[in-house]
Amino acid sequence: MARLIQLTILFIQFYYYYYITTTAHGVSSNGTTFLLDSSRSAMILPLFLSPPNPCTKFSSTRRLLQRSNANNALPNARMRLHDDLLINGYYTTRLWIGTPPQRFALIVDTGSSVTYVPCSSCEQCGRHQDPKFQPDLSSTYQSVKCNIDCNCDDEKQQCVYERQYAEMSTSSGVLGEDIISFGNLSALAPQRAVFGCENMETGDLYSQHADGIMGLGRGDLSIVDHLVDKGVINDSFSLCYGGMGIGGGAMVLGGISPPSNMVFSQSDPVRSPYYNIDLKEIHVAGKPLPLNPTVFDGKHGTILDSGTTYAYLPEAAFVSFKDAIMKELHSLKPIRGPDPNYNDICFSGAGSDISQLSSSFPAVEMVFGNGQKLLLSPENYLFRHSKVHGAYCLGIFQNGKDPTTLLGGIVVRNTLVLYDRENSKIGFWKTNCSELWERLNVDGAPPPAPSSSNGNNSNTEMPPSMAPSDQKHYGLPDEKKIGQITFEMMLNVNYSDLKLHISELAESIAQELGINSSQVYILNSMEKGNASYIEWAVVPSGSADCISNVTALSIIARVAEYHMHLPDTFGSYHLINWEIKASAKRTWWQQHFLLVVLASVVSFIFGLLAFGIWFIWRHRQRALNPYKPVDAVVTEQELQPL
Catalytic residue numbers, as ranges:
109, 305
d(CA 471, CA 478): 8
H or E segment to which residue 193 belongs? strand 191-201
- The letter for the amino acid at 306 is S
For residue 192, list its beta bridge partners.
179
Length of the chain: 642
Cα separation, 272 vs 275, in Å, equals: 8
Compute the distance between CA of residue 315 and CA of residue 402 in angstroms, rounded to an integer: 8
b/e per residue 377-409 (b: at least 16 CB within 10 A): bbbbbbbbbeebeebbbbbbbbbbebbbbbbbb
CB 44 within 8 A of CB 36: yes
- The string of DSSP codes covering 210-243 is S-EEEE-SSSTT-HHHHHHHTTSS-SEEEEEE--
Q: Are 6 and 27 in contact (CB under 8 A)?
A: no
According to DSSP, the β-strands at 263-266 and 425-430 are antiparallel
Question: Is residue 153 a contact partner of residue 54, using CB atoms and an 8 Å limit?
Answer: no
86, 84, 89, 92: which is closest to 562 by C-alpha?
A: 92
C-alpha 37/C-alpha 312 separation (Å) is 9
Q: For residue 49, give the nearest of 22, 35, 30, 23 by alpha carbon.
A: 30
Could you say which DSSP state residue 158 is in?
B
- Which one-letter DSSP state was computed for residue 637? P
Q: At what angle do helices 502-513 and 549-560 cross, to 10 degrees?
A: 120
H-helix or E-strand spanning residue 77: strand 77-81
Give how far the C-alpha of residue 592 lies from the chain's centroid of Cα atoms, to the nearest Å: 46
CA gyration radius for the chain? 34
Rounded to whole angstroms, the Cα distance separating 176 from 216 reads 18
Bond from prior residue into 51 cis (ω within 30 degrees of 0): yes
Single out the residue of 309, 270, 325 nearest to residue 88, CA to CA. 309
- Whether the Cβ atoms of residue 111 and residue 309 lie closer than 8 Å to each other: no
CA 138, CA 157: separation in Å to the nearest integer? 20
Give the whole-angstrom CA distance, residue 434 versus residue 205. 29
- Can you tell me whether residue 515 is helix, strand or coil? coil
For 117, half-sphere exposure in the C-beta direction (CA atoms, 13 angstrom radius) is 28
Closest CA to 43 of 90, 107, 113, 103: 90
For β-strands 191-201 and 116-118, DSSP reports them as parallel
